[in-house]
């Protein structure tokens, strides 16, 4: 399972755990619909939580619940961990994709909500005393990263209208998302298999004119990102 798949599953497991804590019962079919996965996947998730020591009880005709009297301990952060989150927040705020900033801000708000009051005060103080350079105008040049992340981890085809340069004509392409990186010019770039060119290509997000998430899926590419980087290194940088 790819690293990004693990992150997606971890997010779902955490959400299911929170629902178990906040509701009398959770229903598998409802969870499957909410997370857009199969019921079989939800059953596997519940089994994984049980194996992790969470006492889940099945009630016939109702669903699943936590064992009566069991409470999940709150997530606790050290002061250093909380401070590291603030630097992450400042770095994300300087990126040029609106969707990434919005999603990260939602996540950071949830994290801050579990901090002790004394930690919250220190975090707010550090936030006011921290500046990350570049992109001083808070420029936003794309709003596609969240969808691209989702299609990358779910192996879904994207249809994009892409313009290589300002003066060039835009072209419509179907691409298979492979990886994402942030280049030295502070632009987000999608690495994808281009079906039109029959090769891997780089697509700057600020040059994507429109983007449609297709229901069509593709077979994951066997090549790893490290192998791709090595191929590009040999292609563009000759050995001395």
Band of pLDDT at residue 5, cut at 50, 70 and 90: low
- The CB density around residue 216, as the number of other CB atoms within 10 Å, is 12
Rounded-to-integer distance, Cα 237 and Cα 138, Å: 34
How does DSSP assign 181-204, residue by residue?
Answer: EE-TTS-EEEEEEETTTTEEEEEE
What φ, ψ does residue 11 adopt, rounded to 5°?
-60, -40
Does residue 1 have a pLDDT over 50? Answer: no
Rounded-to-integer distance, Cα 188 and Cα 186, Å: 7
Q: Which residue has the tokens 């996540």?
A: 107
CA dihedral 105, 110, 113, 119 (to 10 degrees): -60
Report which of residues 200 and 2 the model is more confident about: 200
Rounded average pLDDT over 82-104: 88
Rounded average pLDDT over 52-65: 88
Rounded-to-integer distance, Cα 65 and Cα 26, Å: 6
* DSSP label of 219: P
Does residue 240 have a pLDDT over 70? Answer: no
∠ CA 172-100-97, rounded to 5°: 55
Please report how the helices 117-128 and 79-93 are oriented relative to each other, as an axis angle in degrees rounded to 10: 40
Token digits for 1? 């399972």
Tell me what the pLDDT averaged over the chain comes to.
86
CA dihedral 86, 98, 7, 182 (to 10 degrees): -80
Q: Taking a C-beta distance cutoff of 8 angstroms, is the pair 218, 151 a contact? A: no
> Is the Cα dihedral 10, 118, 106, 94 positive or negative?
negative
Rounded-to-integer distance, Cα 205 and Cα 185, Å: 12
Q: Which residue has the tokens 């598998």?
A: 28
pTM as predicted: 0.64
């Amino acid at each position: 399972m790819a690293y990004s798949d693990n992150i997606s599953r971890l997010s779902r497991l955490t959400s299911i755990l929170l629902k178990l804590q906040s509701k009398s019962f959770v229903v598998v079919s409802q969870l499957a619909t909410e997370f857009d996965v199969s019921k079989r996947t939800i059953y596997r998730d519940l089994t994984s939580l049980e194996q992790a020591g969470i006492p889940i009880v099945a009630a016939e005709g109702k669903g699943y619940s936590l064992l009566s009297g069991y409470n999940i301990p709150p997530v606790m952060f050290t002061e250093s961990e909380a401070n590291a989150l603030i630097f992450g927040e400042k770095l994300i705020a300087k990126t040029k994709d609106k969707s990434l900033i919005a999603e990260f801000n939602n996540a950071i708000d949830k994290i801050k909500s579990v901090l002790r009051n004394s930690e919250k005060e220190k975090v707010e103080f550090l936030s006011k005393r921290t500046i990350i350079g570049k992109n001083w105008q808070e420029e936003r040049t794309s709003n596609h990263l969240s969808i691209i992340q989702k299609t990358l981890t779910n192996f879904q085809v994207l249809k994009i209208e892409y313009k290589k340069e300002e003066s060039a004509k835009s072209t419509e392409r179907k691409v298979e998302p492979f990886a994402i990186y942030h280049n030295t010019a502070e632009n987000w770039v999608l690495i994808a298999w281009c079906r039109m060119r029959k090769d891997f290509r780089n697509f700057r997000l600020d040059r994507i004119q429109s983007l449609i998430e297709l229901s069509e899926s593709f077979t994951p590419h066997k090549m790893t990102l490290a192998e791709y980087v090595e191929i590009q290194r040999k292609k563009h940088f000759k050995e001395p």
